[in-house]
């Protein structure tokens, strides 16, 4: 049995300062589950925390995209038992404030606490979660793949917001883990032509394998030219920004048709600024959507994942032990090619 100091976790202590440390074992209190972490994905958000581009209270054990096996259940918990395989929605709401009582808006909860953002997360051997946030997954689903259910739930939220329709043409700017999930989801939703853009050819190859019809590398070709020539000069019905940069939003804006829909999905650094010509927005009569986390989409994400209709494996480039966390954060910070989704496994 592990003693207290044997338990390892990645603790973020400052800008570009994440360390493997010994931590005490969390305990499941009333209504909570203690999970033995099966896998936890590194998100672009975690890199923002690491670089100080999104300020969070430190020290913090990050990690909000995780799966695990129930180790113990707190008092009053029903529906879960030790040994169950689960994922958990990281956003914990109070259920009582005004936003919580507005349908579909509860993640604006004034008391919101997110696992791995506001409270300790799953770059650790154990994490505790409210049982009401947990969802059973099939025991044969690989736990490192199940860690991608959280980003999948966020993608579903974004697509609900922008509203993909059968027959739509869709451009996705950025084919990181999110872009690669979105390509598959929009096809499931009925998109008939998917354009994927990225500066890295290695990612575009995967995009193609996962269903992108046309791939565009903006370092070699002008996305607007390609898409205009493909769409009789109109542009796509829906453009999705999945990078988290004002430049990528511009690219999406450039390729969407008049009367189209633009989804700004990527999380830009807190201080980034987007310069836009309002006349262009007027002239295109655009519907511009954004998307905040995953309210009420987790159950559907679990079902989609369990259906086997989304390929996670090609998106996961690395499964590494927690010990390699500090090294891989530094490599992700440098945007080292060859890395797509990293899942840390204690
Ligand atoms: Zn995330
Ligand atoms: Zn609330």
Gap from CA of 152 to ligand 1 centroid (Å): 9
Angle at 174 between CA 245 and CA 211, to 5 degrees: 160
Distance 151 CA to ligand 1 centre (A): 6
Using CB atoms within 10 Å of the CB of residue 199, give its burial: 0 to 12 exposed, 13 to 18 middle, 19+ buried.
middle
Ligand nearest to the CA of 113: 2
- Ligand 1 center–CA 157 separation, angstroms: 13
Ligand 2 centre to CA of 89 (Å) is 15
Residue 117 Cα, ligand 1 centroid: separation in angstroms? 10
Q: Distance between CA atoms of 147 and 153, rounded to whole angstroms?
A: 11
From the CB of residue 94, how many other CB atoms can be counted at a distance below 10 Å? Answer: 13
User: Which pLDDT tens digits describe the chain residue by residue (346 residues)?
Assistant: 445 567 999 999 999 999 999 999 999 999 999 999 999 999 999 999 999 999 999 999 999 999 999 999 999 999 999 999 999 999 999 999 999 999 777 899 999 999 999 999 999 999 999 999 999 999 999 999 999 999 999 999 999 999 999 999 999 999 999 999 999 999 999 999 999 999 999 999 999 999 999 999 999 999 999 999 999 999 999 999 999 999 999 999 999 999 999 999 999 999 999 999 999 999 999 999 999 999 999 999 999 999 999 999 999 999 999 999 999 999 999 999 999 999 999 9
Q: Which tokens hold the place of 82?
A: 């030790």
CATH topology for 4-148+312-345 is: Quinone Oxidoreductase; Chain A, domain 1 (3.90.180)
Task: Output the pLDDT for position 4.
Answer: 52
Classify domain 155-290 by CATH number.
3.40.50.720
Q: What is the pTM of this model?
A: 0.97
Cα(233) to centroid(ligand 1), Å: 36
User: For residue 1, what pLDDT is reported?
Assistant: 47
Nearest ligand by distance to the CA of 102: 2
* Domain boundaries, given as residue ranges, for the chain: 4-148+312-345, 155-290
User: Tell me, what's the pLDDT at 222?
Assistant: 98
> Which class for 127: exposed (0-12), middle (13-18), buried (19 or more C-beta within 10 A)?
buried
């Amino acid at each position: 049995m592990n003693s207290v100091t044997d338990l390892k976790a990645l603790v973020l202590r400052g800008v570009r300062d994440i360390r493997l440390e010994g931590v005490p074992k969390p305990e499941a209190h009333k209504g909570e589950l203690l999970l033995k972490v099966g896998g936890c994905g590194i998100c672009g958000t975690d890199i923002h925390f690491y670089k100080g581009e999104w300020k969070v209270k430190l020290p913090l054990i990050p990690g909000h995209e995780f799966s695990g096996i129930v180790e113990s259940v707190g008092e009053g918990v029903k529906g879960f038992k030790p040994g169950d395989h689960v994922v958990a929605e990281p956003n914990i709401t109070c259920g009582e404030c005004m936003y919580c009582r507005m349908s579909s808006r509860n993640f604006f909860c004034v008391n919101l606490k997110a696992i791995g953002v506001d409270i300790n997360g799953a770059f650790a051997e154990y994490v505790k979660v409210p049982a009401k946030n947990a969802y059973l997954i099939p025991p044969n689903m690989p736990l490192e793949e199940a860690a991608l259910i959280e980003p999948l739930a966020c993608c579903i939220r974004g697509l609900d917001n922008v509203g993909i329709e059968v027959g739509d043409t869709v451009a996705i700017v950025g084919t990181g883990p999110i872009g690669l999930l979105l390509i598959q989801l929009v096809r499931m939703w009925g998109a008939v032509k998917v354009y994927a853009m990225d500066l890295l050819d290695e990612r575009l190859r995967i995009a193609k394998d996962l269903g992108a019809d046309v791939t565009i590398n903006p370092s070699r070709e002008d996305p607007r030219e390609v898409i205009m020539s493909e769409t009789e000069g109109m542009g796509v019905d829906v453009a999705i920004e999945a990078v988290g940069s004002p430049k990528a939003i511009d690219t999406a804006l450039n390729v969407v048709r008049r009367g189209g829909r633009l989804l700004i999905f990527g999380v830009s650094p807190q201080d980034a600024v987007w310069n836009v010509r309002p006349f262009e927005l007027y002239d295109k009569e655009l519907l511009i959507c954004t998307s905040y986390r995953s309210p009420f989409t987790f159950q559907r994400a679990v079902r989609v994942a369990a259906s086997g209709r989304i390929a996670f494996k090609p998106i996961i480039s690395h499964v590494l032990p927690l010990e390699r966390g500090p090294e891989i954060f530094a490599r992700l910070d440098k945007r080292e090619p060859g890395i797509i989704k990293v899942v840390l496994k204690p």
